[in-house]
């Protein structure tokens, strides 16, 4: 079907809202083509579907080559906007002599019907040019034509907006004008393998026993397995800077990746966007036990060694005097030691 051609039927009741003297037996068809030309065909209600043949002749196409509104069985139809209906009716209202033409058409139609009913010879040639046109129209030769130019909103093809050529970007990369203003957050994370599967921990330094943990079943991988992506819903309710634990079933990961994460937790860079959570595992993390610089470690006290006692000269002198006192039966009691007590004792010991 050529959707750009249309036969739009106005009933007498609709035309009476515009012209008070419109004959109730006459209808009007507007034939619109793809060039925007609108032609008029008057018809009597008793003509039935024969008026469609006249519309086809005006539009220069066969049955099925144009749309009909209101719908008629056996013909395609289309939707016409209310604003376009009002536009068509306004054009009709602008033709002041149209009611008179409709009256003339009705008179000639009745005359032609009476002529066919009488078994009389053919009538004399009609000298009135308007009556001649009406008579020809009734015989299906040439209908009245009205040629104002009109374009309906949906009749002419809508111009297709020309898209700006996309810049040549490698696959997986988006041009700047597309991503401008998009959500994007970078988060430090850690990837490890535990009893619940592969675990992605956001802000691992802030994790406590109260940190929320979520289980995610969906995961996608880049073709070289250097990174993977999780659905955006995994961080629903999460705010930037807060810790979060995301667990993914171990069975969803290739064996090589499972072995890699099992050997040692990995530092990861996580990018949170409106499309998903992109995880890029990096090098292995350092030992879980914090290493303290050597300067900060306090020296460990050495275990005392057991050494032989060496008697000092003072002790030797005291021992000699004690022995002498015992042999002579003299008791010695020190009440107060003078400041030069040690020197005097030593001199006594060497004198003896």
pLDDT tens sequence across 202-260? 999 899 988 999 999 999 998 888 889 999 888 888 888 899 999 999 999 999 989 99
Closest residue by Cα to residue 225 from 197, 259, 265:
259
Q: How far apart are CA 166 and CA 93, in angstroms?
A: 50
Instruction: Report the length, in residues, of the chain.
Output: 352
Sign of CA dihedral 162, 167, 172, 173: negative
Question: How much is the pTM?
Answer: 0.38
CA distance 278 to 234: 11
Of the CA atoms within 13 Å of residue 187, those in its CB half-sphere come to 28
Residue pair 47/112 in contact (Cβ under 8 Å)? The answer is: no
- What torsion, rounded to 10 degrees, do the Cα atoms 331, 332, 333, 334 define? 180
What pLDDT is recorded for position 2?
46
What does residue 272 show for φ and ψ, rounded to 5 degrees? -100, 120
Segments of the chain scoring below 70 in pLDDT: 1-3, 120-175, 177-181, 287-352
């Amino acid at each position: 079907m050529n959707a750009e051609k249309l036969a739009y039927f106005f009933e007498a009741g609709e035309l009476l809202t515009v012209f008070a003297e419109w004959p109730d037996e006459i209808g009007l068809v507007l034939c619109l083509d793809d060039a925007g030309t609108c032609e008029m065909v008057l018809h009597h209600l008793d003509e039935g579907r024969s008026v469609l043949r006249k519309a086809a002749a005006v539009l220069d196409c066969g049955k099925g080559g144009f749309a009909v509104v209101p719908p008629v069985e056996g013909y395609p139809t289309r939707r016409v906007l209310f604003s376009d209906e009002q536009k068509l009716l306004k054009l009709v209202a602008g033709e002041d002599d149209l009611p008179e033409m409709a009256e003339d058409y009705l008179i000639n139609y009745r005359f032609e019907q009476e002529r066919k009913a009488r078994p009389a010879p053919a009538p004399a040639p009609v000298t009135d040019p308007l009556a001649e046109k009406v008579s020809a129209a009734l015989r299906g030769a040439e209908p009245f034509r009205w040629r104002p130019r009109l374009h309906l909103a949906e009749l002419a093809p809508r111009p297709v907006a020309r898209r700006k050529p996309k810049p040549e970007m490698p696959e997986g990369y988006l041009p700047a004008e597309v991503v401008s203003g998009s959500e994007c957050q970078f988060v430090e994370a850690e990837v490890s393998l535990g009893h619940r599967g592969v675990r992605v921990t956001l802000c691992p330094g802030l994790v406590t026993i109260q940190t929320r943990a979520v289980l995610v079943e969906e995961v996608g991988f880049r073709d070289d397995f250097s990174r993977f992506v999780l659905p955006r819903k995994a961080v629903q309710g999460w705010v930037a800077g807060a810790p979060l634990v995301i667990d993914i079933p171990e069975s969803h990961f290739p064996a090589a990746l499972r072995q890699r994460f099992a050997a040692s937790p990995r530092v990861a860079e996580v990018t949170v966007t409106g499309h998903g959570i992109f995880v890029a595992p990096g090098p292995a993390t350092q030992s879980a036990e914090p290493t303290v610089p050597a300067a900060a470690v306090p020296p460990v006290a050495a275990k005392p060694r057991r050494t032989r006692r060496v008697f000092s000269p003072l002790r030797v002198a005291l021992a000699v005097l004690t022995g002498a006192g015992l042999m002579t039966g003299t008791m010695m009691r020190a009440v107060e030691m003078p400041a030069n007590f040690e020197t005097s004792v030593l001199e006594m010991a060497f004198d003896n």
